[in-house]
Chain A
């Protein structure tokens, strides 16, 4: 993938312990899965930063290639790819998310 895009994504992921690429913003999610992920973080009092993929088509395509994951949202904790909204929900239910963000 494009080196500049990869670098940009690397830097975004490193910018916060919990980082999410989503459609829209936490205040105004533009898809059900992104909204679901925001809810999980809010309910767990987890601090997170986001990037709106609708604001940048290169990042929107690039992030799918970067993590070899075809959908958005995508969640990263400590720079590691965690999964999408369904996995985040499953981890929160099992209490694993709480441990990871401590």
Chain B
């Protein structure tokens, strides 16, 4: 099982100047949503932005994170 705190910590430690808000609305430890804001996204395509979030969670996505909705914001 993975927690919102773990996901937040991982994203923020990998993506420069980022702030990540993670929710697990059903409180099931399965379906997460990440809203990630970073100046590092500025000028990058949505695919590149989402790819950065995915790569920050590469290990988790293989292991214990199976449903993650992503929203990225430039600052």
Contacts and interface: CB of A to CB of B under 8 A. Distances in A.
Interface of A: 32-33, 68-71, 81-87, 90-91
30 contacts: A32-B31, A32-B67, A33-B67, A33-B69, A68-B51, A69-B47, A69-B51, A69-B54, A70-B54, A70-B58, A70-B61, A71-B54, A71-B61, A71-B68, A81-B47, A82-B47, A83-B46, A83-B47, A83-B50, A84-B50, A85-B69, A86-B50, A86-B69, A86-B71, A87-B46, A87-B47, A87-B50, A90-B46, A90-B71, A91-B46
Contact of A86 (B51, B61, B70): B70
A21 to B, nearest CB: 15
Interface in B28-55: 31, 46-47, 50-51, 54
A81 B51 CA distance: 12
B25 to A, nearest CB: 12
Interface residues of B, number: 13
Contacts of B50: 83-84, 86-87
Contacts of B69: 33, 85-86
Contacts of A91: 46
Nearest to A91: B46
Nearest to B62: A70
